[in-house]
């Protein structure tokens, strides 16, 4: 859905978060073509070692400079590493220590890209900020709405549900109607130097390094037992923080004459006993639940639709939308009941709610109930 706000006045100044990738490069190009006065800002959010083979900040900054030179737009730089460590990374570590599986990209959007970046952009005289997110913004009835991208496979509203009216009023998402192949085509047509650059993957500050290796640099191992649902010992783990619900890889469980040859999956993490509970089979009943309790709700409109409502929801990025009923408690918690049992609901991850094409908000999964 295209941005439904009125056309901007002449000389409207937009600060584009330029990462050095193709999405943000095309974002800057499109805004320039639409008549905006564009300034680019390269954000450094992680202080890696200079010889860190996984840190691409230096190369990304060089790419950002090449993009700006070609588009003839100014490039500013900012280091938000202190804010990132304080507002995102410490929470990430605390959640893992508590046996949960956080999603730092969601918090990064709230605290860095749409808070620290937005504040700096205003200091630089920006009327708007813009990013290469796959999402849209509409304005209806005096309210800003966060809408899903046309490219459903790339839609990133799951990671943006913590945005509210103040942020959406100042943000532009020019890629909302474009697919990835179209963005590559535009970049090649205009000979942008990053037209064929590989997309970055993985958690924003980890890069593409092995997750267990990275986490082990910041948290001490806490070895414990791997057991089945009857308490039978199957092996040892190095720490519950290295595992997530539904995980298959990396369990290191060998064959046993007491069990079948079906693969093992993580079903539960018991913090008090430091035990990892595993089950056999992708569709084992212990991997499914149709209800959850969520905390720290955030609503794009500023408040929930009603105290009880039906909507669609997803509990992971790219997961199909599922029908559910949401009950809003007086203490701010949400009770979410799905029409169908969901696999591998994970405390620490977010449940994000949708009505039609709009993301209306979400909350952090706190507890997972059994299937009724």
Instruction: Please give the pLDDT value at position 61.
Output: 93
Indicate whether 8 pLDDT > 80. Answer: no
In a domain, 202, yes or no: no
Which residue would you say has higher pLDDT here, 263 or 56?
A: 263
366: three-class secondary structure by DSSP: strand
Instruction: Please give the pLDDT value at position 244.
Output: 94
Q: Could you tell me if 315 and 176 lie in one domain? A: no
Average pLDDT, the chain: 92
> Structure tokens of 10?
């002449």
Which residue would you say has higher pLDDT here, 89 or 204?
A: 89
In a domain, 200, yes or no: no
What's the residue count for the chain? Answer: 372
Read off φ and ψ for residue 177, nearest 5 degrees. -100, 5
Q: Could you tell me if 99 and 155 lie in one domain? A: yes
pLDDT band at 208 (very low <50, low <70, confident <90, very high): low
Which residue would you say has higher pLDDT here, 219 or 360?
A: 360
In a domain, 213, yes or no: no
- Torsion over CA: 113, 115, 119, 122 (sign): positive
pLDDT band at 58 (very low <50, low <70, confident <90, very high): confident
Q: What is the CATH number of the domain that holds 309?
A: 2.40.30.10
Whether the Cβ atoms of residue 296 and residue 364 lie closer than 8 Å to each other: yes
Per residue in 295-331, pLDDT (tens digit) is: 999 999 999 999 999 999 999 999 999 999 999 998 8
Bridge partners, residue 327, by sequence: 308, 335
Q: Of 148, 173, 189, which marks where a domain is finished?
A: 189
In a domain, 274, yes or no: yes
Indicate whether 264 pLDDT > 90. Answer: yes
**SS3 track for 310-362:** EEEEECCCCCCCEEEEEEECCCCCEEEEEEEEEECCCECEEEEEEECCEEEEE
CA pair distance 154, 17, nearest whole angstrom = 18
Q: Could you tell me if 23 and 120 lie in one domain? A: yes
CA pair distance 151, 143, nearest whole angstrom = 24
In a domain, 28, yes or no: yes
- Residue 249 lies in domain: 222-282
Indicate whether 205 pLDDT > 60. Answer: no
Whether the Cβ atoms of residue 323 and residue 336 lie closer than 8 Å to each other: no
Q: Could you tell me if 145 and 245 lie in one domain? A: no
Bridge partners, residue 358, by sequence: 147, 355
Indicate whether 220 pLDDT > 80. Answer: yes
- Start-to-end C-alpha separation, the chain: 38
Q: Which sequence positions are flagged as catalytic?
A: 108, 204
Give the lowest-confidence range in 145-159, 192-206, 237-251: 192-206
Instruction: Please give the pLDDT value at position 212.
Output: 78
Q: Could you tell me if 264 and 297 lie in one domain? A: no
Indicate whether 339 pLDDT > 80. Answer: yes
Indicate whether 257 pLDDT > 70. Answer: no
Q: What is the CATH number of the domain that holds 243?
A: 2.30.30.280
CA pair distance 225, 106, nearest whole angstrom = 32
In a domain, 198, yes or no: no
Instruction: Please give the pLDDT value at position 45.
Output: 86
Q: Of 138, 172, 189, which marks where a domain is finished?
A: 189
Report the predicted TM-score, pTM, of the whole model to 2 decimal places. Answer: 0.93
Q: Could you tell me if 124 and 51 lie in one domain? A: yes
Q: For residue 5, give the nearest of 187, 247, 125, 176 by alpha carbon.
A: 176
Instruction: Please give the pLDDT value at position 290.
Output: 97
In a domain, 194, yes or no: no
Q: Could you tell me if 117 and 226 lie in one domain? A: no
The number of distinct structural domains making up the chain is 3
Q: How many CA atoms lie within 13 A of 218 on its CB side?
A: 17
Q: Could you tell me if 174 and 302 lie in one domain? A: no
In a domain, 183, yes or no: yes
Q: Could you tell me if 175 and 314 lie in one domain? A: no
Indicate whether 192 pLDDT > 90. Answer: yes
Read off φ and ψ for residue 145, nearest 5 degrees. -120, 140
Instruction: Please give the pLDDT value at position 215.
Output: 85
Q: What is the mean pLDDT of residues 117-140?
A: 97
Q: Could you tell me if 34 and 180 lie in one domain? A: yes
Q: Could you tell me if 257 and 363 lie in one domain? A: no
Q: Of 164, 189, 214, which marks where a domain is finished?
A: 189
pLDDT band at 53 (very low <50, low <70, confident <90, very high): low
Q: Could you tell me if 173 and 136 lie in one domain? A: yes
CA pair distance 307, 326, nearest whole angstrom = 8
Q: What is the CATH number of the domain that holds 69?
A: 3.40.50.620
Instruction: Please give the pLDDT value at position 49.
Output: 54
């Amino acid at each position: 859905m295209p941005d439904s706000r009125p056309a901007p006045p002449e000389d409207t100044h937009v600060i584009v978060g330029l990462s050095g990738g193709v999405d943000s490069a095309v974002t800057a190009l499109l805004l320039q073509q639409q008549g905006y006065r564009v300034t680019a800002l390269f954000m450094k959010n992680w202080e890696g070692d200079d010889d860190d083979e996984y840190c691409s900040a230096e190369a990304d900054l060089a790419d950002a400079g090449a993009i700006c030179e070609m588009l003839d737009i100014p490039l500013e730089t900012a280091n938000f590493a202190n804010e990132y460590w304080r507002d995102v990374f410490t929470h990430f570590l605390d959640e893992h220590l508590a046996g949960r599986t956080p999603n730092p990209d969601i918090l990064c959007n709230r605290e860095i890209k749409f808070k620290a970046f937005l504040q700096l952009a205003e200091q630089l005289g920006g009327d708007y900020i813009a990013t290469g997110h796959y999402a849209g913004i509409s304005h209806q009835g005096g309210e800003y709405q966060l809408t899903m991208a046309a490219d459903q496979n790339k839609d990133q509203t799951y990671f943006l549900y913590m945005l509210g009216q103040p942020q959406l009023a100042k943000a532009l998402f020019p890629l909302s109607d474009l697919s990835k192949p179209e963005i590559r085509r535009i970049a090649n047509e205009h000979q942008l130097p990053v037209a064929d650059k590989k997309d970055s993957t993985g958690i924003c500050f980890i890069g593409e390094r092995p997750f267990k290796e990275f986490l082990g640099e910041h948290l001490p191992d806490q070895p414990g037992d791997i057991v089945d649902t009857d308490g039978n010992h199957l092996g040892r783990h190095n720490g519950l923080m290295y595992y997530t619900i539904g995980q298959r890889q990396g369990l290191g469980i060998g064959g046993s004459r007491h069990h079948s040859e079906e693969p093992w999956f993580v079903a539960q993490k018991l913090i008090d006993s430091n035990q990892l509970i595993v089950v056999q089979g992708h569709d084992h009943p212990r991997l499914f639940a149709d209800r959850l309790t969520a905390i720290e709700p955030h609503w794009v409109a500023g408040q929930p639709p009603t105290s009880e409502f039906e909507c669609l929801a997803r509990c992971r990025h790219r997961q199909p939308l599922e029908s559910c009923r949401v009950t809003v408690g007086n203490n701010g918690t949400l009770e979410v009941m799905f029409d169908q049992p969901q696999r591998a609901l994970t405390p620490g991850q977010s449940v994000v709610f949708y009505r039609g094409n709009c993301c209306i908000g979400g909350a952090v999964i706190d507890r997972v109930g059994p299937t009724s």
